[in-house]
Amino acid sequence: MKTMPSLLTGLVLTAVFSAPAGADEVQVAVAANFTAPMKTIAADFEKATGHKAQLAFGATGKFYAQIKNGAPFEILLAADDETPAKLEREGVAVPGTRFTYAIGQLALWSAKPGFVDDKADVLKQGTFNHLSIANPRLAPYGAAAVETLTQLGLLGALESKFVQGENIAQTYQFVSSGNAELGFVALSQIYADGKLKGGSAWIVPGNLHNPIRQDAAVLVKGKDNPAAAALMEFLKGEKARAVIKSYGYSL
């Protein structure tokens, strides 16, 4: 019978020798809208390479401030293309690493089936008390929502109904919990495997707001990390691209 110390030693040795050779970790800041696909991609990435991606999700604007204040992120997957470009100009992102990993789509969504029609007439009718949007100063999807309402000529009429989320994840929670009857969310939050997961939605036409180009960049803290380089390559590969597309993003 093994003693406790020898049993523990055996477990430690098993863990050490079962780890892939040369495996590293990479700290990744991920825009909240990309939560679901990135969790899948990170799991596939670890299986394929042995490297582990440690993920943090939130608003791109907040990540920018954290990165500038020395947060230990090595890759940023932003919800826009401006923030990574700005970080590159400021010497915080590695030149030549930036690329568009997805083009996001905005959707008006309600957890209630049949509440949102395919022309978004519900917005004009105003038969609701609360409209959830992400903070337009921090979240590109929130900015796109404001642009959409401006183009529709409805911003002034509906602004008093806004329930503002800190990021697109909180915006989605307001709608899914019923605290807001409807809201502007990322299509990826309500769409998977080519279909709507529940409720009712209007996919906002792209001509109503600026394109939501979502760029990735290696940050200076990750420039010498093999796992960072490997993840960026993996994001460009067919397996990751198939996952991204299945959540309603354009490529």
pLDDT in tens, 173-191: 999 999 999 999 999 999 9
What is the per-residue DSSP string for 180-224?
SSEEEEEHHHHEETTEE-SSEEEEPPGGGS--EEEEEEEBGGGTT
What does pTM read for this prediction?
0.81
In a domain, 83, yes or no: yes
Measure the CA–CA gap between 228 and 76, rounded to whole angstroms.
10
Q: What is the pLDDT of residue 22?
A: 63
Residues 140 and 184 in one domain: yes
Residues 96 and 219 in one domain: yes
From edge to edge, which strands make up the β-sheet containing 182-186? 162-165, 131-134, 182-186, 106-110, 200-203
CA distances from 243 to 59, 203, 235 (A): 22, 19, 10
Residue showing tokens 């590695």: 94
Domain that holds residue 235: 25-103+212-246
Q: What is the pLDDT of residue 8?
A: 35
Residues 136 and 218 in one domain: no
Q: Phi first, then psi: what are they for 183, rounded to 5°?
A: -170, 165
Nearest to 88 by CA among 211, 223, 213: 223
Measure the CA–CA gap between 142 and 133, rounded to whole angstroms.
6
Render pLDDT for 199-239 as a digit per residue (tens, 0 to 9).
Answer: 999 999 999 999 999 999 999 999 999 999 999 999 999 99
Q: Percent of the chain beyond pLDDT 70?
A: 91
Average pLDDT over residues 83-92: 98
Tokens coding 142 = 């929130």
In a domain, 251, yes or no: no
Domain count, the chain: 2
Helix (H, G, I), strand (E, B) or coil at 146: helix
Residues 158 and 97 in one domain: no
For 194, counting Cβ atoms within 10 Å of its Cβ (0-12 exposed, 13-18 middle, 19+ buried), the class is exposed
Residues 62 and 126 in one domain: no
Q: Which residues make Cβ contacts (< 8 Å) with residue 166, sequence separation at least 6?
A: 59, 62, 134, 135, 138, 139
Residues 75 and 195 in one domain: no
Render pLDDT for 16-71 as a digit per residue (tens, 0 to 9).
Answer: 333 445 679 999 999 999 999 999 999 999 999 999 999 999 989 999 999 999 99
In a domain, 224, yes or no: yes
CATH of the domain at 160: 3.40.190.10
Residues 129 and 180 in one domain: yes
Residues 193 and 115 in one domain: yes
